[in-house]
Structure 1
């Protein structure tokens, strides 16, 4: 059984004696605090914090992290307070323990919501000290190693959460040793039979290929020795989940995946990496398009290496990774290498760079957290963001920006700065104008064109891929919608008050606070937004304001719509005035508005049959009037019955274009041998513009009938 003395001996390799004593003191404190507590397996509870500290010792973490590992369950599971820990072990250790402690369980209807809330808290703790997440990962790793005592359904739930969140975070921070083990343990818990079969097949395949592996390994080693280059060739093993994913996603048989030989060459410096690359390419023919230089352009988690694939002597592919010893430490321990170098009182640019990137990532998480609508939306953003395949593009100044595969111009704009994304109107890719939805490729240079008054477009959500862009767009649209709802609410309320020759500005100062208190609303803006979004009726609010003003019940009658002046609309009001798709109202049509909760005012043609059902609710119906200044285009549907003939669509398109309109959609269905029905959706300026287009279509030969689609 592993003891605290065994851990002390291991720590002696890199920590001074006084720090080891502090770690031991934390263990004895935890042992006393957890006295009498046992794990489900029956072992004393203190074996868990000791095992977590041992995992961190393998990564050469600092003594404060090890102390936090010893104490990480003390606050939740015993009566010890954070203040008591700070007094005993110092504030930094107490803060770490507070961040790592299994988070206080809140009662939620949904376990997914509870996990999302807990993850949000963990992000806040990470932002204060990134070591929190490293200790948390070690805690999760030991829990995964000891899942055996749990029920199968609980095992699967914990394993899925580990795979979706913790393994991805370990990958994002470059801690590859923990990521691989978490993935394999999760795979074994979710699919125990599949994992066991793949494990047996791997063991058997390795035995059969041992001589071939030795042959390639000795050939590569001899090539380095002949050139007097210091380097060690190591056979690289695939882990279970990666084999399973390749079999499933690429639909490849097991034998084909295991036919690839993997080797890693570890050398002294960067110059030797490139020289070794030349040597292996000289020894074996490289596979075209399979070389990647992660030394010149590191991955987001700080990973650096040269990757190449070669044709082996027996025609089998050989995958080779070439890196320095420091890069090897970074590949295995990621951000934890920062403390490995700190413990030796030296700094290393790779470790420092990884730490800076991790802090930048956590900062980005905090920004997403502020913008997300709720905890579940936030955790979905994080899942999407956690380390997909990357592409590399350049700013006009030559700075490298890293984005996920499939990222668009909008994703790039938001990755530079949220304001640039919000105000983006156009883009140049390699000096040529390109659509904002363009999918980016590695090596492109991008220049974003912005305008001060520009706003995000709802359609952007259909093609953006990064979590930062998605959450920033939603946040901006929500605020834009609130602002527009507030403006519309003010217009509606003033319109209702105008019937009694008053306005919001003319009401006495004490009226609004009293009405807000009665309605339990925090501010006038909240009231106006609720009116604009249809949650409250402006007429009812106006009556209440007037009643408060006069301190007497209103005697203004029950129907405030009679004789009221219509509300003027132009079509450019934004998201709180919507045009009904059932009847496609156009400027010039008689129109009415229906106040719909969450949508604002929905504009219908006066004769639209869908408005009939709202006649019984006159408080939510508004007389509307078109503005004299309208610059928007409006959709309208036409149904044309015409004799079938060749070139019909081209002729229709030409007529519509000549009339300065656009075709949004066109469809043709055959009615009989002679006649066809054309369904046409156009964008037009108004009723007069539409009449001009209909006249042109009527002049076509063989048009039997043309009608505007009403409903």
Structure 2
């Protein structure tokens, strides 16, 4: 990138034409005017902004666009990269982007903006919900993910300028979400770089240790890469195989992970085959296998370290032969063998679908369908009702390498590394997994916890009436299997709880001479605010979340004599007998200024309700218990509790403004809860102490006047008895 002058308006002017020229170099039909127009628009939009490093902010979208040009992507993706922060961070709007650059680019920019706003590092439930939204957004257009991954990579390259605590959050999010996604989408180079940047932040001492030991090894042995590369070149040349041989040192995180996979973080560097990697790129599939023969004849193959991903590709389209051999001085090295077409897909992953070669859209026969994995993932995890469970299973699907096994009829089943016969059964069909009683691997009976290996033939033995055991969830590694097992366990547990709850209800109702009819239980659910009706009340009863006495008292308090203890005496109420105690009903929480009425309880005083409280309908046939009451003079000098439900925009500072406003009206906040958080709006419930109805009304009016508030209303538990 050329140096610019001190003028913000001309700082990057030379690079606009450069960027367009680079795009045209691989795509002669590229629209240079579109790219240069997006460049100028984004540069102007970010003109007054700076990054934490002090650089002009526009260096960031430009760097993202340059990454995508290097991957030879289409104009729409490059323009989206230039514009991806304009709607979020400047005064630009989607309407304006649509008018200037078209609907396709506006939708891509909107998709990237939505991904950026997802809090993937928030607490687990929110993170799972947002990760699911991420997958859905990506499924609409995979180019959104390409821009977002490049955006994250540039941010990780410059992460040192962030605050330390922010670095940790972003690094963990990268390690948990973005790096595995890049790998799952076939962009292995990006995954490795993302992981290493995150490793530098999360475990700096471990990374430094790896680097120090690597330097020591190089000092002891010299640079082995040129020597081994020459050996491979010579052997292939002698065999008449045209191939390009390259070698490289693995990244520190990759080495660290391999050492930990061997349960030996302080392991022997000299015997670790994955410190150095060598790649042989040939012109044909036949030459791949010929090259493999040359390598195995020239050096000793290490048993158990051979994988043929050409005959059995990974689901992300990756194809290559992997073998580990003992080379010079018995040193182990990993060698990958592939064709040029395979290499291009392995390097670019899903980007291959939008890239250009020799002026035309690239059509590589080895490229995998980028949407297939997302479709399989969403179908396989459709039964994960718990967001945290969905997140766990999605990460399992992203992180693990694959093994390939066969059914008795020869059908290939792809499974994660470490999978068991149970995973195999559930991969074929949920019913087969649920009814599994045993398995044969290569025609030998094996335990269900056996770890499967590449090429094995698996036969599942099932039996009618068999049901999955809850402990199976610890034996399997696929999200599909875990989801099915846990779903069945939840359903079985619920059925048992409902049966037990029905018996508890029968005994409790019998004590007061009643029967637990479906209508009675539905009324209990309504009054207690239990979603799910009568069955959910029975389940809660069987799970001891509710007691039999509690549900009977809810329906027949006069029969049980179990009237709750008073809370919050409304002093100053006129109409009580001498010495008679009064308490405010929690169902309607009456305030001075409202008409009130009392309901008497034998030996327990009077419960004070507002005259419009729906709970009073339960006492219509008991007029002798009604007491005419009113507020005494001076009662408004005290304080009373009231609850407000406020719907407000999910913007910075809105909640703080609301709290300040309530304080300005001389009211105290005693409790506050977020009830329904959404990306754009959320509902909060705030309990405040007020003098009377007029005081509450003034506060409601002031809150409603705030531009970020869409609704405010007083909230009451109209069907709940006082407690």
Task: Tell whether the structures are fold-level matches, with TM greater than 0.5.
Answer: yes
Gaps of 5+ in 2: 3-14, 564-723
1:187 to 187, 199, 204: 199
Alpha-carbon distance between aligned partners in 1 of 2:102 and 2:542, rounded to the nearest angstrom:
54
Displacement of 1:104: 7.2
CA apart distance, 1:7:
1.8
1:345 corresponds, among 357, 361, 373, to 361
What does 1:26-37 align with in structure 2 at a 5 Å threshold?
A: 26-37=38-49
What is the aligned counterpart of 2:350 among 317, 321, 335? 335
Secondary structure of the 1:98 match is helix
- Name the CA distance, whole Å, in 1 between partners of 2:551 and 2:96: 55
CA distance in 2, matches of 1:435, 1:247: 29
Match among 6, 10, 16 for residue 22 of structure 2: 10
* Alignment-derived partner of residue 295 in structure 1: 310
1:536 matched to which residue of 2? 546
CA deviation vs aligned residue, 1:489-517 (integer Å, no higher than 9, x gap): 33443454567776455x7x6x6655433
Q: Which secondary structure does the structure 2 equivalent of 1:189 belong to?
A: helix
1:322 and 2:332 matched:
no
d(CA) in 2 for partners of 1:90 and 1:491?
65
Counterpart of 1:286 in structure 2 is 301
Q: What is the deviation of 1:158?
A: 2.0
Which residue pairs with 2:236 in the alignment? Answer: 224
State the match for 1:416 in structure 2: 428
CA 1:340–1:238 in structure 2 vs 1: closer, same or farther (change >3 Å)? Answer: same
The range that moved more, 102-111 or 22-31, is 102-111
1:477/1:79 CA distance change after superposition, 3 Å: farther
Contact in 2 for aligned 1:259/1:316 (Cα 8 Å): no
Instruction: State which of 272, 279, 285 in structure 1 corresponds to 2:287.
Output: 272
Deviation string, structure 1 residues 151-202 (Cα, Å, up to 9, x no partner): 3333233223222322222222221111121122222233446545655765
1:5 deviates by: 2.3
- 1:680-691 aligned at under 5 Å gives the runs none
Measured after TM superposition, the shift of residue 373 of structure 1 is 4.8
Q: Deviations over 1:329-368 (max 9, x none)?
A: 12211222232369833532211xx22xx42332344346
Structure 1 counterpart SS, 2:26? coil
CA displacement at 1:142 relative to structure 2? 0.3
Corresponding residue for residue 40 of structure 1: 52
Contact 2:23 2:30 in 1 (8 A): no
Tell me, in whole angstroms, the C-alpha distance in 2 between the residues paired with 1:255 and 1:445. Answer: 36
Q: Paired residue for 2:83?
A: 71
The match for 1:521 among 518, 527, 530 is 530
Query: Could you give the per-residue CA deviations for residues 651-688 of structure 1, whole angstroms, max 9, x where no partner exists?
Result: xxxxxxxxxxxxxxxxxxxxxxxxxxxxxxxxxxxxxx
CA RMSD of aligned residues (A): 3.5
Contact 1:261 1:316 in 2 (8 A): no
Cross-structure match for 2:485: 473
Contact 1:458–1:477 under 8 Å retained in 2: yes
Q: Is 1:51 aligned to 2:63, yes or no?
A: yes
SS in 2 for 1:236: strand
Residue 113 of structure 1, CA deviation: 5.2
Return the alpha-carbon distance in structure 2 between the equivalents of residues 284 and 477 of structure 1. 52
Conserved in 2, the CA contact under 8 Å of 1:73 and 1:102? no
Secondary structure of 1:328's partner? helix
Aligned pairs, how many? 546
Please say if residues 273 and 333 of structure 2, whose CA atoms lie closer than 8 Å, have aligned partners that are also in contact.
no
Cα shift readout 1:452-491 (whole Å, capped 9, x = no counterpart): 6543311112322223322332233223323333343334
Residues 109 and 404 (structure 1), Cα distance of their counterparts in 2 relative to 1, 3 Å cut: closer
Deviation at 1:436, TM superposition (A): 3.0
Structure 2 CA distance for aligned equivalents of residues 449 and 73 of structure 1: 55
CA 1:414 to 1:131, structure 2 compared with 1: closer, same or farther past 3 Å? farther
> SS of the counterpart of 1:459?
helix
Choose 331-340 or 341-350, whichever is displaced more.
341-350
In the aligned structure 2, how far is the partner of 1:481 from the partner of 1:494?
Answer: 20
Give the aligned partner of residue 704 of structure 1.
none
- Alpha-carbon offset, residue 407 of structure 1: 1.8
Who is 1:639 aligned against? none
SS at 1:292 equivalent: strand
CA offset digits 1:404-440 (Å, max 9, x no partner): 3332222222222334333434434334554433332
**What is the rounded CA distance, in whole Å, between the counterparts of 1:434 and 1:200 in structure 2?**
45
Paired residue secondary structure (2:418)? coil
Relative to 1, partners in 2 of residues 1:411 and 1:68: Cα closer, same or farther, differing over 3 Å? same
* CA drift at 1:266: 0.6
Q: SS of 2:390's equivalent?
A: helix
Give unpaired runs (5+ residues) of structure 1.
548-552, 560-711
Q: Deviations over 1:19-74 (max 9, x none)?
A: 44333333333333334222111222222112112112222233332232222223
> Secondary structure of the residue that 1:13 maps to in structure 2?
helix
Tell me the TM-score normalized by structure 2: 0.67
TM-superposed CA distance for 1:271, in Å, is 0.7
Q: TM-score by structure 1 length?
A: 0.68
- Counterpart of 2:35 in structure 1 is 23
